[in-house]
Structure 1
């Protein structure tokens, strides 16, 4: 049976076209954008079939992006400085959230830890190479405590929770939602908001493979728009995000967080509007300077071998500028 060219063309256009898969890395933090991700708003806006892949720490994200498997991901400011110093071809294009008490040092009840000085001789867990680790190092530096005066144990958040239950660690510097579980039987010693005031600021940002960003500018702008809309929905009425609200229930379902704890967790983050992020205090200038300062601190601490002269090339305003237009 002969089939005409016209028939073939009609058949081709009638067949559904599968969207290309895009893997986006994230930490599973209970934030407003999790609602948009669950509702597949990113898939629709960006034109990709998105696979959300959860990572336990920044070093895992760096490895996945360096391999080319992940093109876009959430990454903390400390591992971002590490990746940039190592020449990984990524760029920060949007802040996810500025970290406050959402990342904190919590001491287990009965550990005898009431202040930073009490950490000496104790077992403190944190995901090494993460923003939490950077904040812990900053707190120790501020208090004049050498790392050799305590045992810093490298653990993923889920491992920290298990070790805590077993009494195997005395304290942990970790993020939400695991931190909330620790505080049920522990005491907050210091948060990332305080370590930031001491000169060690931290944030989680969205980074992208540079070649992917250049090839997909519309998708990048769409990502910013969806994230901005989710954050603005929260910012316009935080009180509407009560434990029983549909929004919080959706966040809890997407992340595994306890709905009763989500409102407090959200208060521990600062979500900056895109217009603010584009300013000189953030992506428009200060972040590149802060990235270099973070790298210098990490090199002094023996975590990296070298620091670049300039980190501005690891920050781009293009997606936010396009989204704002």
Structure 2
């Protein structure tokens, strides 16, 4: 009998050795993200195979604004979106059921991180400071982060928002609109600020950053997916943290990858733009404070009806676990004070 058992065991080992093991198929998800440099870690994660390594096949749906991303998620065209605090609370108030699980862009060691936002004009416009925008026409994606930035900056300078005429100009049209003279200035995020600086003759920088708003973008999952498949979310968050670190450590390669996803973006501009961005996947107490301040700003600007607790817009447990278990993925970031 002992010999029989030994024979069966040996046969089983041989069988396992010759029968190919079937690898589990990666889970496919669609992520709606912006056509801008804020999402370079997503581009990198796809092109370098980092998501696939963790069993997630990410399909990217590239859109122009956070509002478009929110609509794509609500329409069932995406399960994941990357949207900024300037518009994400509005979508949640209107019924979007999603929460941020990992950071994409923004310095998470402070509640004010707005270096990617800039205001540009042309020499001879009479505009040299933010105060000079009073009575002028400014092109910006209305309802986006640059719009919120303008409102907060003008308020701090004592200029009523109503004294500036805002025209809805999509980021990709910033160069032609400013160059054509239909606006006196534009307010945009990267890479479009750097693109204006490089492509518009006599372009002049009026303002960049300044700590007026907390410009943060989180990658958010639908609530039902967080509840039904938390392991998928965990794998995605780990992969995203890896992609973010790879991007930070290979800025020029990240810039080159971005040129393949953002129409009209050439490499010199991308290399300039990427250095105005911080790719920090952590969700910290500063991130939470920035959410709360953004909500107050949106209420003040009469865009949001009522206060929205941060718990309705973020679920930090996944990234907190990655930070604890894989500290090496964050070793090149500033410590959180």
TM-score (norm 1): 0.81
More deviation, 34-43/115-124: 34-43
The change in CA–CA distance for 1:253 and 1:63 in structure 2 (over 3 A counts) is closer
**Match of 1:315, SS?**
coil
Match of 1:27 among 11, 34, 41: 34
Residue of structure 1 in register with 2:286 after alignment: 281
CA-CA distance at 1:183 after TM superposition? 1.3
Counterpart mapping for 1:51-90 below 5 A:
51-90=59-98
Q: Measured at CA, do residues 84 and 293 of structure 1 come closer, stay the same or move farther in structure 2, by a change above 3 Å?
A: farther
Distance 1:59 1:254, change over 3 A: closer
Give structure 1 stretches of 5+ with no counterpart.
1-12
* Equivalent in the alignment of 1:116: 130
Q: How much has 1:28 moved relative to structure 2?
A: 2.8
The residue that corresponds to 1:187 in the other structure is 204
Other-structure match for 2:214: 201
Q: How far apart, CA to CA, are the structure 1 residues paired with 2:256 and 2:45? A: 13
Aligned residue number for residue 236 of structure 2: 223
Q: Structure 1 CA distance, aligned partners of 2:144 and 2:296?
A: 16
> How does 1:23-172 map onto structure 2 within 5 Å?
23-30=30-37, 31-48=40-57, 50-98=58-106, 99-172=113-186
The answer to whether the Cα contact below 8 Å between 1:59 and 1:79 also exists between their aligned partners in 2 is yes
CA distance in 2, matches of 1:313, 1:214: 14
Q: Indicate conservation of the 8 Å contact 2:50/2:242, yes or no.
A: no
C-alpha distance in 1, partners of 2:316/2:219?
12
Seen in structure 2, the aligned counterparts of structure 1 residues 108 and 153 have a Cα distance that, compared at 3 Å, is same
Match of 2:256 among 239, 249, 253: 249
Does the C-alpha gap of structure 1 residues 64 and 253 become closer, same or farther in structure 2, counting only changes over 3 Å?
closer
Structure 2: any 5+ residue segments left out of the alignment?
1-19, 107-112, 326-337
- Contact 2:33/2:63, CA 8 A, preserved across alignment: yes
CA deviations over 1:210-249 (Å, ceiling 9, x no partner): 11122222222222222222222343x4xx534xxx5543
The structural deviation recorded for 1:140 is 1.1
User: 1:211/1:120 Cα in 2 relative to 1: closer, same or farther (>3 Å)?
Assistant: same
Deviation at 1:294, TM superposition (A): 1.7
**Equivalent-residue separation in structure 1 for 2:128 and 2:224 (angstroms):** 48
Q: Give yes or no for contact 2:103–2:283 (8 Å, CA) kept in 1.
A: no
Residue number in structure 2 paired with 1:315: 314
**CA–CA distance in structure 2, aligned partners of residues 232 and 21 of structure 1:** 23
Paired residue secondary structure (2:103)? strand
1:123/1:152 contact within 8 Å kept: yes
Largest Rg, 1 or 2: 2
Matches of 1:47 and 1:95, distance apart in 2: 18
Question: Aligned with 1:255: secondary structure?
Answer: coil
Partner residue of 2:110? none
CA RMSD of aligned residues (A): 2.6
- Residue of structure 1 in register with 2:223 after alignment: 210
TM-score, reference length from structure 2:
0.78
Shift in Å, 1:69: 2.3
Whether contact under 8 Å (2:29, 2:56) holds in the other structure is: no
Residues in 2 aligned to 1:317 and 1:119: alpha-carbon distance in whole angstroms: 39
Partner SS, residue 156 of structure 2: helix
* Residues 18 and 166 (structure 1), Cα distance of their counterparts in 2 relative to 1, 3 Å cut: farther
